[in-house]
């Protein structure tokens, strides 16, 4: 039996009269990767942000390893996001003035790890992500694909339970995007974390274990994929 790490039950969310989530049930198991797809405005980002404790649902529950996080206060929620979740966005997430290794070390330092230890820990990620030798480059000296791999390292450095990725390949060409998503899914799984990823790209989604299609704030269908 697989262990459910993250679950949303009966999630609803409206912005004024606009329903963005109209009763969504979703579960993500340990080491599982889930892609969320659907047309523009269907509620993908709202679902991801609700599961990540960024948006509070109007109704329903969000559970992390069985604990209801939608009831947490703001301070507890933001601590949980820093410690137990990692985030990869489309772009603009690395601090341009810091070398790559310090970008990766930053979340560890925010949790109180001394700088030297945090940088040493950060450096471990560069080789497995194909970034060996780029530790001291600043984000402006990296290609888009390299910068996204640094962002993946940063998301994983805290050894989170869940990595959330919102269009992580949206700014990359197809070949680079494929390479990035392959690394993102495999390294996340190796770390024992699960992955929740919003993407418009069916080829990118096909690298995930399951694809959830959302339409008008509801789950349209689930598909099972096996990527060779």
List of residues contacting ligand ATP (CB under 6 A): 15, 18, 20, 38, 40-46
Q: Which helix (H) or strand (E) holds 218?
A: strand 218-224
CB nearer ligand ATP, residue 28 or residue 104 = 28
From the centroid of its chain, how far is CA 165?
Answer: 3
Give least dist CB 163 to ligand ATP, A: 18
Distances (CA, A) of 47 to 71, 100, 114, 139: 17, 30, 35, 30
CB nearer ligand ATP, residue 42 or residue 169 = 42
Place of tokens 């996001």: 81
CB nearer ligand ATP, residue 44 or residue 210 = 44
CB nearer ligand ATP, residue 24 or residue 28 = 24
User: For 112, left (φ over 0), alpha (ψ -120 to 50), or beta?
Assistant: left
Q: Closest Cα partner for 199 from 88, 59, 111, 107?
A: 88
Give least dist CB 117 to ligand ATP, A: 38
Give least dist CB 14 to ligand ATP, A: 8
Give least dist CB 167 to ligand ATP, A: 8
């Amino acid at each position: 039996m697989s262990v459910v790490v993250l679950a949303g039950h009966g999630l609803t969310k409206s912005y004024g009269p606009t329903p963005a989530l109209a009763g969504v049930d979703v579960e993500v198991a340990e080491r599982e990767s889930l892609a969320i797809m659907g047309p523009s405005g269907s509620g993908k980002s709202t679902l991801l942000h609700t599961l990540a404790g960024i948006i509070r649902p109007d109704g329903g529950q969000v559970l992390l390893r069985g604990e209801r996080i939608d009831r947490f206060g703001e301070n507890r929620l933001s601590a949980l996001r820093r410690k137990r979740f990692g985030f990869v966005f489309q772009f603009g997430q690395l601090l341009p003035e810091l070398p790559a290794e310090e970008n990766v070390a930053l979340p560890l330092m925010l949790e109180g790890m001394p700088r030297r230890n945090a940088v040493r820990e950060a450096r471990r990620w560069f080789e497995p992500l194909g970034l060996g030798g780029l530790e001291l480059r600043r984000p402006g000296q990296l290609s888009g694909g390299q910068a996204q791999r640094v962002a993946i390292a940063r998301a994983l450095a805290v050894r989170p339970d869940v990595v959330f990725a919102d269009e992580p390949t949206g700014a990359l060409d197809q070949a680079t995007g494929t390479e990035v998503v392959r690394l993102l899914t495999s390294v996340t799984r190796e770390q024992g974390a699960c992955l929740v990823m919003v993407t418009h790209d069916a080829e990118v989604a096909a690298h995930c274990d399951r694809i959830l299609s959302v339409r008008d704030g509801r789950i349209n269908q689930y598909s099972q994929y096996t990527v060779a």
